[in-house]
Every structure is written in C-alpha cells, then in structure tokens.
Chain A
C-alpha cells in the first residue's frame, strides 16, 4: 500500500523571546491513498501547525515528510508552491475567496499559476462549479451568495487542478449545522471518487463522516482509530 502522506518523527519549534517553544513533538502518521481522516484536538494541541506542514505552507524543524512518495522537507520555495498548486487542494474555515473576482475567476485562479490558457481555465472552472452545484452563479461575486455556497466555491477551487489530496481546516466552522451536513456530504462523495481527505475539526458529528480519527494533545498524537460505521459503509 502506498501512502499519500507519510510523516516520520516530525518536530516543530517556534522561536519565542523565552526560547524555542515546541509545538509538535515526535509526530508519526501515515495516510493511505483514498483515506478520509479527521484530525481533532483542543486549541493549542498543534493540529493547525501539523496541517500547515502537511499543506507545504510550513516546514518542520526536524523529521521527514513524504507527500505522494516524494520527500518534501528539503524542497525549495518554488517546488513547494508547485505542490500546493497541483497535488493539494486547500479548503479554509473562512472560505478565503477573492472578493473582487467572480466565482469563475476565483475557481480558475490555481490554473493561472499552473500556466493553463484562459479558455481551458474557464472551461475547467465551469465544470467543477457545476459539479458542486453552482452552475448558475458563474458570474456572481462571493458576497452575493450564502456561506454554504461560498464554501462550495472554495471546494471547487481546491478541486480544479485535480489534486490527490484535499486539506480542509475546520471547513464547517463558520456554517450552521444543516449547511455543514451538506458540505460534509460533498466531501464524502469526493472521497468516494478516490480523493484523499484530511480535515481538522473539533465537532464530533463532523468527525464521524471520516473513516479515521486522529486526536492531538500537547503536540502529540494520543489517539488514532478507524470509525466502525465508516469502515462498514465503505466496504
């Protein structure tokens, strides 16, 4: 079995005035292709830092990180940017759309950075927007649609470059429970298509959508198990 993510003995320190402050201490985790992982834990447990490292936005102080079989700890800034562009799709709690651009331009933005020409950019962006159910809003601005719809746009943007892996940092944190459920169903169906998903959440009902739950505490993984129902459902 090949892993989409494999981290070995990851440490991360933050430099403060009082000296080095350890945030991650000897974290080891392997995530298989097509897996669906919920990362949980209280604030300050290091789960966000861990996500930043997984997302190639940050580098570990020590340890090795293999993304899709490639060692990324030593890669240059440009190479990391390319991984964020092609291999990973990000979904944030605050949606993080560009307010001035319409939905089509928002979703095609990653393709701008991978050098796709304008015509194919818009075609592909339109396809994924239809897929997430927003085919009628191509020229709307983010401010003209609801929060749940904005998160769908963000998911469409994460999908447009056909990534192996989607990283979602509290994707339902700003949404009501009904909309949260709809967004999670969208993640479920993406996972069924074979995309690996790692999401950070502190709500247990959200975490129950995942096949596997990993719990952080004080910079360490303290719990790692497969959810019975999800395993049953998948098989």
Chain B
C-alpha cells in the first residue's frame, strides 16, 4: 500500500516535470543556503577556537600605563611602570601559575642572503609554558641564558621558512638580528593566526635580558611594557586579578582613590567574548538562511493546492472506487514530502559544494558538519509535511460526487 502510494507520488511528480523542478528549486536553495551558512558559521567558530587554544589558558595580561587611557596617551611611550621584580612578586601569589615579563619590538633578521622583518619577543622561559608553546626541534633557552644574556633565539615557523627555506635545518645556525649574531636553539611549533588575525609564527623569542641589553638598549634596565600571567585555574581567575591589582598598587605606592599606573586585562574573558560573538553570528546566518527554507515550503503548499484543484476529478474517481479519506490525505502528503526530501538532498549537495567553493576562493574556513546536514534534512522533511498537510486535507475532504462532476 505505502510503496504503491510512493510510486504514485513519483509518477505524479514526473507528470509535470517543470513545475516539480521549480517547486523543488525553492527547497534546494533554502537547504543549500542553510547548509552553506552553517558551514561558514561553523568554520568561523572553529578558527576562533583554534586561536583561543593557541593563546594559552586562564591568561591575564598586565600592561604598563594607567587603565582606561585613550590610545593617544598610552602610545606616547611614557616611562614603563612595570619591571621584573613586580613579575617575581606576582609569581609568589596564590593562584598564579606563572608570570612572564615581556618586551617586544621588531627587527630586521638576516641569514645568508635572506632578509626578513619580524617581531622580536624578549621574555623568560616561563613564557613558553604560559602560552602552552612547544619546541618542534631544539630546546628552550634556560634561566642561566637569562642571567648571562646569551645571544640565543627561538624562531617561529614563518621566520624559519623565509630565512632557511625547506632544505636547511635552522637549529645550530647563526642568524643576525640588528647586525648582532644569534644562535638558533629551537624552532617553535606553529600556532597559526591569533584572535586579531596576526601570524603568531612570524616571531622570534629571545631571553628578556638579551633583548633589553643587546637589541632594544635604551630602556631602564629591568622595566617591561607588559607581563603575561597565568592563573592556576579558571576558578582562581577573579581572585588572582584582585590580588595582582592590590599587590602592584602596594608595590607602586599608589594611594587609595588614585589611578593605577598599570592595567590588568583578562585575556580569556576577551577571547570568550569573541567566541560568543562568532557563535551569535553563526546563529544569525543560519536563521536568515532558514527564511528561504520557509519560502520554499510555501512554494510547496502553493503548488500542492494547484495540484489538488487540477486533480479534483481524479480524487473523485479514487474515492468512488474505495479510497478512504486517509488514503487521499496520505497520497498528497507523500507527494509534498517526496518533493521536499528530493529538493533537500540536492540542496545539501549544493550547500556542500558552495561551502567548498567559498573555502577555495576566499580561504575562509567553511566546515560542513553532519549535525548541520541532519538538521537541514529534518527541517526540510517537517516543512514538507507541514506545508503539504493543508492541501492534502483539502483533497481528502472533497465531496466525491462534486469531485466526480468537476470538469
């Protein structure tokens, strides 16, 4: 019985191919749009997640200079208020897992005939743990390198590629940073893009003391622009933030009521906000695409109503030879269902193809998940049943005598 009905539905669709195709097209575009938009949203979310996990977990950044200052004032380069002794004090706090005082700059780097301009991070070995950064090859410089300000460097993947190419192993080679020779002791494991879109592998890490004394010399010794602080856990973060603030205010002799000369930012919170924003955007994309699915459903309803009217006489004949109301209902419902399911399957193919095109042309990540396909399928099936029901019921409720008389 059911297979016979399915056959009939297929038959009826074949009888009016152009119309069936156009009705399906609405469904195809709707499903295709949903799958593609969800793929783009998912891709954005995944790349954000990757950036966040590449950042390290439970991070604060402590910046020298008062909080809430306008960019213009902080950029004037007033005296740096933080120094390595502050860092040592923070490291002693409960709930703090590690502190890395950091100075930054950029410099021209040379190896053999190759030139590359990159950012230089001067920091302590703990930076590697805080950023959850490992070495692919070689070793991390030690605290004794810190004390004696050795000229050693860890280079990022991008720097290694540009200076050495594929064939040469950078470890053990000597590069020139601002004309002074540095021994490459390790190559950093690639991290990819940061949250703000910078290439995190386009960097060189050197000991803080080396950076301050031998690369960016004109600074008060020991003072730094920023520190990375890692809390022991997510739960410890609020308390740690308060403790860092109190400790630094005390160390810097800041009276109650006056502004601090530093600021503490919760990087993890900022990252979570970014992730939340992306999630909302993905949701919005999906919601907008769903509207076209709805329009496709209305198209199905419209065409089914026309079909019921056209086939009134056929319905009358079927009723006269013994079709029950539910047989007629099932027949038309099945027809709407088959149209929407076939449209949906083609739409999924279009959506997956579209996502791949977007990926290859724009480089944006677009990830089609089975979850999004299942969702599109389920929605399309329910749209078919929902919008097919009214016309089908209309057909089933026809009066057989009037239907037989219909010309």
Partner of B319, one of A81, A92, A112, A118: A81
Knowing A96-B404, A100-B11, A112-B4 touch, does A84 contact B317 (C-beta < 8 A)? no
Pairwise interchain contact A84-B320, C-beta atoms closer than 8 A:
yes
**Interface membership of B88, Cβ < 8 A:** no
B314-338 Cβ-contact flags toward A at 8 Å (1 or 0): 1011111111111100000000000
Pairwise interchain contact B314-A98, C-beta atoms closer than 8 A:
yes
**Interface membership of A55, Cβ < 8 A:** yes
B293-316 Cβ-contact flags toward A at 8 Å (1 or 0): 000000000000000000001101
Which chain A residues have a beta carbon within 8 Å of chain B's beta carbons? Answer: 52, 55, 57-58, 77-78, 81-82, 84-86, 90, 92, 96-98, 100-101, 109-110, 112-115, 118, 157, 161
Pairwise interchain contact B401-A77, C-beta atoms closer than 8 A:
no
Contacts of B400 in A (CB 8 A): 57
27 A–B contact pairs at CB < 8 A?
Answer: A52-B401, A55-B320, A57-B320, A57-B400, A57-B401, A58-B401, A77-B324, A77-B325, A78-B324, A81-B322, A81-B323, A81-B324, A81-B325, A81-B327, A82-B322, A82-B324, A84-B321, A85-B321, A90-B320, A101-B11, A112-B4, A112-B5, A113-B318, A113-B321, A113-B322, A113-B323, A118-B3
Pairwise interchain contact B321-A110, C-beta atoms closer than 8 A:
yes
* 3 nearest A-B residue pairs (beta carbon): A85-B322, A113-B322, A81-B324
Contacts of A101 in B (CB 8 A): 11
**Interface membership of B15, Cβ < 8 A:** yes
Q: How far is the CA of A230 from the CA of B354 in the complex (A)?
A: 77
Contacts of B3 in A (CB 8 A): 118
**Interface membership of B112, Cβ < 8 A:** no
Pairwise interchain contact A110-B313, C-beta atoms closer than 8 A:
no
Contacts of A52 in B (CB 8 A): 401
**Interface membership of B1, Cβ < 8 A:** yes
B323 smallest CB distance to A (angstroms): 5
**Interface-central residue, A82, A96, A115, by most chain B CB under 10 Å:** A96
Q: How far is the CA of A1 from the CA of B320 in the complex (A)?
A: 29
Pairwise interchain contact A115-B1, C-beta atoms closer than 8 A:
yes
B190-231 Cβ-contact flags toward A at 8 Å (1 or 0): 000000000000000000000000000000000000000000
A228 smallest CB distance to B (angstroms): 34
Q: How far is the CA of A157 from the CA of B320 in the complex (A)?
A: 11
Q: How far is the CA of A157 from the CA of B322 in the complex (A)?
A: 12
Contacts of A90 in B (CB 8 A): 320-321
Contacts of B325 in A (CB 8 A): 77-78, 81
Q: Which chain A residue lies CB-closest to B324?
A: A81
* Extra contacts besides A85-B323, A157-B321 (6): CB < 8 Å: A84-B322, A85-B322, A86-B322, A90-B321, A96-B313, A113-B323
Contacts of B1 in A (CB 8 A): 112, 115
Contacts of A113 in B (CB 8 A): 318, 321-324, 327
Q: How far is the CA of A113 from the CA of B318 in the complex (A)?
A: 9
Contacts of A86 in B (CB 8 A): 322
B144-166 Cβ-contact flags toward A at 8 Å (1 or 0): 00000000000000000000000
Knowing A57-B400, A113-B327 touch, does A98 contact B322 (C-beta < 8 A)? no
Contacts of B4 in A (CB 8 A): 112, 118
B154 smallest CB distance to A (angstroms): 74
Contacts of A110 in B (CB 8 A): 321-322
Q: How far is the CA of A82 from the CA of B401 in the complex (A)?
A: 16
Pairwise interchain contact A109-B321, C-beta atoms closer than 8 A:
yes
Contacts of A100 in B (CB 8 A): 11-12, 15
Q: How far is the CA of A6 from the CA of B196 in the complex (A)?
A: 89
Q: How far is the CA of A161 from the CA of B319 in the complex (A)?
A: 15
Q: Which chain B residue lies CB-closest to A167?
A: B320
Q: How far is the CA of A118 from the CA of B320 in the complex (A)?
A: 21
A173 smallest CB distance to B (angstroms): 14
Contacts of A82 in B (CB 8 A): 322, 324
A195 smallest CB distance to B (angstroms): 16
A57 smallest CB distance to B (angstroms): 5
B218 smallest CB distance to A (angstroms): 91
Q: How far is the CA of A92 from the CA of B319 in the complex (A)?
A: 14
Knowing A92-B404, A96-B404 touch, does A114 contact B313 (C-beta < 8 A)? no
Contacts of B323 in A (CB 8 A): 81, 85, 113
Contacts of B319 in A (CB 8 A): 57, 81, 84
